[in-house]
Amino acid sequence: MKLRLILLVVCIALLGALSVSAQDRTPIYVYTDSDTNISDFWTNTIIPAFEAEFPQYEVILTIVRGVGGGNADIANRALAAMTTGDDPQVDFFETMNTDAQQEWVDAELFLAVTEEMVPNLANVIPATNRLPQEMPYRGSQVLLAYNSDNVAAEDVPTTYAGLLEWIKNNPGQFVYNRPDKGGSGAAMVTRAIFEVTGQDPSKFVPGESDEALIAEFSKAWELLGSVHDSIYENGAYPAGNTPVLELLANGSVSMITAWSDQGLQAYNLGVLPETTRFAQLQDLPFTGGYAFSAIPSNSTNQEGALALANFLLSAEMQQAIVETIGGFPSVSWEMLPAELQSQYTSVITDTVPTWPGGAYGAAMVEGWYNNVATNIDPSS
Amino acid sequence: MTAAAPPQSSPSWRKGIIAYLMVAPPLLLMILLIFIPALQSTARTLTIDVNGEPGFSISRYTAFFQDPISVSNLFFTFQVTLITLAAIFILCFPLAIYLRFATGKLAGAVQVLALFPLFVPGIILAYALIRFLGTRGTLDNVLSIVGFTGYRTPYLKPDAIIFGLVWESIPFTVLVLTAGLRQISDSLIESARDVGANSWQIFWRIILPQIARPVLIVFSLNFLGIFGSYTIPYLLGPAAPQMMGVFMQQTFGQYRRPDDAETQAVITFIICAFIGFLYVRTVATQRKREESE
């Protein structure tokens, strides 16, 4: 009886001690709805490194991938908490489109971050095009991936015109996917559109639709149509990024367009052969994009969230993004070790064109299907 | 029937009400979730806005049939459906007859194999076929070991759609055909053989007329499944031409033209409804005949 009593007292004391030690560390509630590679990266790399450097904080990561609206639902919860003055129980969104909903903008749900709050923001490259509320911390860009057994380094095209020429000279050796089924194929198509509209992506403003600009797309169809027969299997376009990577992996083709993170990760995992190399066009690179983090303005641990944001933009974490998940840094490549730079020298660019989607996207996809994928003239 | 309510004491109208109550939930579900939306869709495709007033017009349909890409997709869907159906029958008839008459372990194994596709989800099948049929895939490798090097992959071509759809349709077809064949009594075939009929005559004059109905059922249900198929043509087929399922999704989701997608859906629906009518009539006449017998 006595023993049990002692045990009970010990247990209570232990629990008390544990809760005290937990109270010592202020929690930072982080939400993510990104893919497994990203949530794994947080669990295995970012959080241990951050907690080692900032022992006063405890990062609590909640994965809401595939649950309803993901992070957007949590943002709406934070908005509701804002109206009632409650704790939103979220301090940091791994990715957030801060202007996706007008109510968020109106209520100033997200904190506008300055370089005073997050000093490392000073190193972020302008190509990320961030809103004041957004902190870009990782990027991805479409690249050319090729098999160096079949393509000599000096033969790798450096311009879009050169790429089309290469495709014509090596029939059946190049493939990209349908533009609506994955960004790597879309980049091949949008790059053709940029090519015929003066290589100036800034002409395409999100939310607008310039009929005169869309009318020029027909020239892009001529470009892509001219290589249609030289694409894999006389013009067979797979339905996704992964089937394209697979065709390069099994040696069916020698060159593809691929997302940097998917391609580099497949390479690191050994899914793509060791002879795989990556390159970027030098006249105007393929499109890319960044993941933006955000902090709700009613976060109860803003200090911790800002420390985390600053940590993500540190050279150490930016290097990990390149090495671990095959992402692109959001800071200038010059911040990273010289060795890493030389390894990625063929793909490094501080120019990251973006494609606006919207009405332009619809015209791009339909135009491609009706003019490039088929030889039926829709106006006949 | 319980002893408390012997059949003769319960008035027939009450029995009728119970029966209607029992069929009401599925019937209501059908009407609310299928018939009414389908009718609304059809009505919408037939109306245009005339100075703020809805007016009748078939302009959406003339637009569909004047667009060579839409027409080629519809034609392609018919083509794939009919070729697939022919292939299914050529493959499944011998299989069903074998399973009807054969006994033993081998027949059991064949049956398991024939039913296996039933348990494989379409998307898994599609990726497996990419690996199997693709360039440098299993088939290509095996052929090159044998010394055949001219292999051209059907992946991303119409042939791959047919291949996938046939594989997917085998279990259902074999099940229905075998069930139909089992209804033909052994004695009938034996007596035909006694009077000197050869195998072909037995098949043509005895078996085939007896299983006309299962054949029609297999035809119509497979037609509906194939005509509206999505996953297999989407992952294995070419970017153009497209089957109607893929085309509709594309028009709706990518081209952002819900009106045109609706017109495509109604056209597909009408074609399928006609085949569905054939099926219902077949089943209904069978029931009538059974009742009269």
Give the bridge partners for A277, in sequence order.
A146
Cα B100 to the chain's mean position, in Å?
A: 23
Q: Supply A61's token pair.
A: 């990561």
Contact B222, B85 (CB under 8 A): yes
- pLDDT class for B293, splitting at 50, 70, 90? low
Range B188-198 average pLDDT: 87
- pLDDT class for B149, splitting at 50, 70, 90? confident
Q: Out of A178, A239, A365, whose CB is closest to B255?
A: A365
Q: What is the pLDDT of residue B1?
A: 41
Residue B136 burial (C-beta neighbours within 10 Å; 0-12, 13-18, 19+): middle
Selected for mutation to probe chain A from B70, B73, B135 (highest A CB count within 10 Å) is: B135
Q: What is the pLDDT of residue A192?
A: 97
Q: What is the pLDDT of residue A111?
A: 95
B275 touches chain A (CB under 8 A): no
Q: What is the pLDDT of residue B190?
A: 87
Selected for mutation to probe chain B from A178, A376, A379, A380 (highest B CB count within 10 Å) is: A376
Q: What is the pLDDT of residue B150?
A: 84
**Average pLDDT score, chain B:** 89
Residue B200 burial (C-beta neighbours within 10 Å; 0-12, 13-18, 19+): exposed
* Class of the CATH-defined domain A25-137+290-332: alpha beta
pLDDT in tens, B251-265: 988 888 889 999 999
Q: Out of B155, B156, B254, whose CB is closest to A366?
A: B254
Full set of structural domains in chain B with CATH: 75-292 (1.10.3720.10)
Q: What is the pLDDT of residue B267?
A: 95
Per-residue pLDDT at B3 exceeds 60: no
DSSP secondary structure string for all residues of B84-130? HHHHHHHHHHHHHHHHHH--SHHHHHHHHHHHGGGGS-HHHHHHHHH
- pLDDT class for B215, splitting at 50, 70, 90? very high
Tell me which chain B residues have a C-beta less than 8 angstroms from the C-beta of A239.
234-235
Closest Cα partner for A185 from A144, A131, A128? Answer: A144
Q: What is the pLDDT of residue B5?
A: 46
Q: Out of A237, A239, A362, whose CB is closest to B254?
A: A362
**Percentage of the residues of chain B whose pLDDT score is greater than 90:** 56
The segment(s) of chain A belonging to CATH 3.40.190.10 are 25-137+290-332, 139-289+352-371
A373 touches chain B (CB under 8 A): yes
Protein fold of A139-289+352-371: D-Maltodextrin-Binding Protein; domain 2 (3.40.190)
- Taking CA atoms, B235 is separated from A236, A334, A379, B38, B141, in Å, by 12, 42, 28, 28, 22
Q: What is the pLDDT of residue A342?
A: 82
- Taking CA atoms, A178 is separated from A76, A168, A365, B134, in Å, by 34, 19, 8, 18
**Percentage of the residues of chain A whose pLDDT score is greater than 70:** 92
Range B241-246 average pLDDT: 94
- pLDDT class for B204, splitting at 50, 70, 90? confident
Range B174-200 average pLDDT: 89
Q: What is the pLDDT of residue A380?
A: 53
**Percentage of the residues of chain B whose pLDDT score is greater than 70:** 96
Q: Supply A243's token pair.
A: 């089937």
Q: Does B156 contact A380 at a Cβ distance shorter than 8 Å?
A: no
3-class secondary-structure state, position B190: helix
Closest Cα partner for B125 from B83, B75, B168, B92? Answer: B168
Q: What is the pLDDT of residue B231?
A: 92
| pLDDT tens over chain A, length 380 residues | 566 766 666 666 666 555 545 557 899 999 999 888 889 999 999 999 999 999 999 999 999 987 777 898 999 999 999 999 999 999 999 999 888 888 898 999 999 999 999 999 999 988 787 889 999 999 989 999 999 999 999 999 999 999 999 999 999 999 999 998 888 999 999 999 999 999 999 898 877 788 999 999 999 999 999 999 999 999 999 988 989 999 999 999 999 999 998 898 888 888 999 999 999 999 999 998 889 999 999 999 999 999 999 999 999 999 999 888 888 899 988 888 888 888 788 787 878 898 887 789 889 999 999 999 986 665 55
Strands B47-50 and B53-56 turn out to be antiparallel
Enumerate the H helices of B183-257 as residue ranges.
186-194, 199-201, 208-210, 212-227, 231-236, 244-249
Per-residue pLDDT at B76 exceeds 90: yes
State in Å, rounded, how far the first CA of chain B is from the last one.
Answer: 25
